[in-house]
């Protein structure tokens, strides 16, 4: 997966694409600059990574699910 920063008129947004370029997620707002859209994409990626870590459960056998 990878992020793509897109321009629409004078505003910018981010889109998360899978390996076949299908949209997985996209920003729900636009930003005044590409740098701000990129920072928002990075913040989203960090939130998803943190959420993924909270889903990791250690069963009593000691193996990851």
Mean predicted confidence (pLDDT) in 29-58: 91
Q: Is the pLDDT of residue 61 over 80?
A: no
pLDDT at 60: 65
Q: Give the pTM.
A: 0.76
Structure token pair of residue 48: 């998803």
- Say if residues 16 and 5 touch (Cβ distance below 8 Å): no
Rounded CA separation 52/38 (Å): 21
Taking a C-beta distance cutoff of 8 angstroms, is the pair 40, 25 a contact?
Answer: no
Cα torsion at 35, 37, 38, 41 (round to 10°)? 160
């Amino acid at each position: 997966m990878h992020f793509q920063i897109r321009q629409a008129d004078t505003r910018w947004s981010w889109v998360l694409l899978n390996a076949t370029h299908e949209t997985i997620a996209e920003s729900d707002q636009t930003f005044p600059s590409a740098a701000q859209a990129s920072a928002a994409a990075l913040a989203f990626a960090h939130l998803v990574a943190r959420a993924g870590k909270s889903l990791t459960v250690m069963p009593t056998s000691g193996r990851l699910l």
